[in-house]
Amino acid sequence: MTTQNYLGTKRERRVLVIDDDPSVATVVSTALSQEDIRVQHAETGTTGLQQLVQFRPDVLILDHLLPDGEGLQILGRVNRIDARLPVLFVTARNSSDLAIEAMKQGAFDFLAKPLQLEKVAEKTQQALESRRLMLMPVQLPSQVDPMIDGADHLIGQCPEMQEVYKAIGRAAAHDVPVLIEGEIGTGKELVARAIYQHGRRKDRPFVKVVCSDFNAEWLESELFGHEPNSLAGAVERRIGKLEQCHGGTVLLEEVSAIPQPLQSKLVRYIQDKTFERVGGHEPVQVNTTLIFTSSRNAERLTAEGVIRHDLFYLLSAFMIRIPPLRERGADLPKLVDHFVGQFCRVERIAQSGAVRTSPEALRLLTDYPWPGNVAELRSVLRRALIESRGTVIAGDYLRNALRDMPRSDDSLETKVLSSHVCDWEDFIMEKMEAGSNDLYADSVMEMERHVLTIILRKTSGNQAKAARMLGITRTSLRKKIHYLGLAIEEFVSTV
């Protein structure tokens, strides 16, 4: 199974359920009914393995006991067919040891019977996102046909970006820890995925951990696992991401969010590839490559005592700095052309090939400081394209999208947030003068953009917390973020 599945036209997401109980497939279909996800069911392991090749699912939900064999045996055969396929292992509530063994053999996670709709939806979405990170190609400018739809792209030919491409090639050739440094919105995750996809471990799992999503104890558990009763509420053993991704790669976002004691444990792991689970005493040996990111200058963070010196020395041997957009000069027109073309071809916002950017608009884009970097540029262009509803992105639509962000030395947070603040009287007058016939819908959309911006800023981009505060599901929040043209990278905390 190759990444070619993700190229060309937008591909539907697919889930395969292998379980002899038809009601399990019914529960999964019901849990995913609000999503654009196709669910297929097989009642035996033999039939399921055949459908695995023919149906090419993005996630497999596998029962532990089947008429023609045990789930662990099927899991081993699945890994030989496609080691990167996220598998959700279904067990009975008293089968925790079996679930742990499945995780040690590479299962993405497990679901306990009786299945709960919300848990099925949550775990499946997480697995789908992991699959996307692994298989969505990250193409470099030097690659053939770099504008293929359905792939992510690193765009730009300035000398600083040329150094980034060279560093990706060097990092991909070695299984060493890497530190990727760059401001919010510069594309650190894309660089990490490019290293993974061009490296020796591209056929093994790739998992992202957002370190700021966890407190100290649970981040250690997320990475290294824990023994029973070692943490409050932890009644069963848990396998951590490093053990689960043995032979693969784990991306740790925001090294500054890792507590110093846990940094020390990571140093020991990098040096000898062993660790102990939380509350455990037996060494666990795995071979997982680590990639770290930092939105702030890592050397300065080390001097301030945020990053341990021994960890910095290990990571500084292979560090990649991504330049901010304001330092990339002539790359901006290339990025504008790329994003506009992408919106036209993939999202069908406008007719492909018909949209162009006016000279005035291009001057506005060039003069703007872009505190949110490439992610903010993408968000602004998408909004301007939606509002223009024509073939030319003009300056007035960009001014509306940018909201005249201050050019003073205000903090980055203030600059990013102010781009989304709305003066309602000015907004309504602009829409009336433009002859809008959807003023109510436009106003609701603007209100949602404003509310989501404030909540995401308050939660530092944590979508789970934001969804709880808003009283909506994470799936609904993700849809709104995408529809409103917001870039989640703008809101992630950099402290």
Cite the DSSP H helix spans in 173-308. Answer: 188-197, 216-224, 241-244, 260-272, 298-303
pLDDT for 405: 43
Q: Which residue has the higher pLDDT, 335 or 396?
A: 335
Q: Please indicate, yes or no, whether residues 72 and 144 belong to a single structural domain of this protein.
A: no
Report if residue 495 sits inside a domain.
no
Determine the structural domain holding residue 210 and report its residue range.
138-321
- 172 and 300 inside one domain: yes
Helix-strand-coil split of the chain, %, nearest 5: 50, 15, 35
Which of 424, 418, 389, 414 shows the shortest CA–CA distance to 403?
418
CA-nearest of 194, 224, 227 to 209 is 224
- Residue 332 belongs to a domain: no
* CATH number, domain containing residue 97: 3.40.50.2300
> Residues 210, 68: one domain?
no
Reported as a single tens digit per residue, the pLDDT across 93-124 is 666 788 888 888 889 998 988 899 989 999 99
Contacts of 59 (CB under 8 A, 6+ apart): 14, 15, 16, 85, 86, 87, 88, 108, 124, 127, 128, 131
Query: Which residue did the predictor score with more confidence, 205 or 10?
Result: 205
From 60, 90, 123, give the residue that closes a domain.
123
**Which of 99, 123, 147 finishes a domain?**
123
Q: What pLDDT is stored for residue 296 in this prediction?
A: 92
Number of compact structural domains in the chain: 3
Decide if pLDDT at 461 tops 50.
yes
Same domain, 244 and 374: no
The reply to whether 306 falls in a domain is: yes
Q: Clarify whether residues 188 and 311 are in a common domain.
A: yes
pLDDT tens across 26-42, in order?
999 999 988 889 999 99
Q: Output the pLDDT for position 10.
A: 53
pLDDT for 11 equals 66
423 and 297 part of one domain: no
Q: Is residue 327 part of a domain?
A: no
Distance in angstroms (rounded) separating the CA atoms of residues 99 and 93: 10
Cα torsion 470, 188, 325, 161 to 10°: value is -160
- 291 SS3 class: strand
Q: What are 265-324's pLDDT values in tens digits? A: 999 999 999 999 999 999 999 999 999 999 999 999 999 999 999 999 999 989 999 999
User: Do strands 65-66 and 69-70 pair parallel, antiparallel, or not at all (unpaired)?
Assistant: antiparallel
Same-domain pairing of 117 and 199? no
Tell me if 333 is assigned to some domain. no
**Dihedrals φ, ψ of 255, to 5°?**
-60, -30
The SS3 of residue 252 is: strand
pLDDT averaged over the chain?
83
User: Could you tell me if 8 and 148 are in contact, meaning their C-beta atoms sit under 8 angstroms apart?
Assistant: yes
149 and 259 share one domain: yes
CA distance 57 to 34: 18
| Token output for 439 | 């003023």
Residue 413, both tokens? 């947070």
Same domain? 20 vs 155: no
Nearest to 486 by CA among 495, 494, 466: 466
Q: 394: number of CA atoms within 13 Å, CB side?
A: 6
Angle at 479 between CA 476 and CA 481, to 5 degrees: 110
Check whether residue 10 and residue 119 sit in a common domain.
Answer: yes
Residue with tokens 């953009």: 449
Evaluate whether residue 354 is within a structural domain: yes
Are 159 and 261 contained in the same domain? yes
Which pLDDT score, from 0 to 100, does residue 478 have? Answer: 78
pLDDT at 240: 93
3-state SS class at 414:
helix
Q: Are residues 406 and 380 in the same domain?
A: yes
Among candidate residues 292, 321, 350, the one where a domain is terminated = 321
Task: State pLDDT tens for residues 119-171.
Answer: 999 999 999 999 999 988 888 887 645 455 567 889 999 999 999 999 999 99
Torsion of the alpha carbons at 263, 268, 274 and 277, rounded to the nearest 10:
-40
Counting residues of the chain whose pLDDT is more than 90, the rounded percentage is 49
User: In this structure, are residues 25 and 39 in contact, taking their beta carbons and an 8 Å threshold?
Assistant: yes
DSSP per position, 98-112: HHHHHHHTT-SEEEE
Alpha helices in 287-329 (DSSP H): 298-303, 309-316
Residues linked to residue 14 through DSSP beta bridges, in sequence order: 38
The CATH code of the domain that includes 201 is: 3.40.50.300
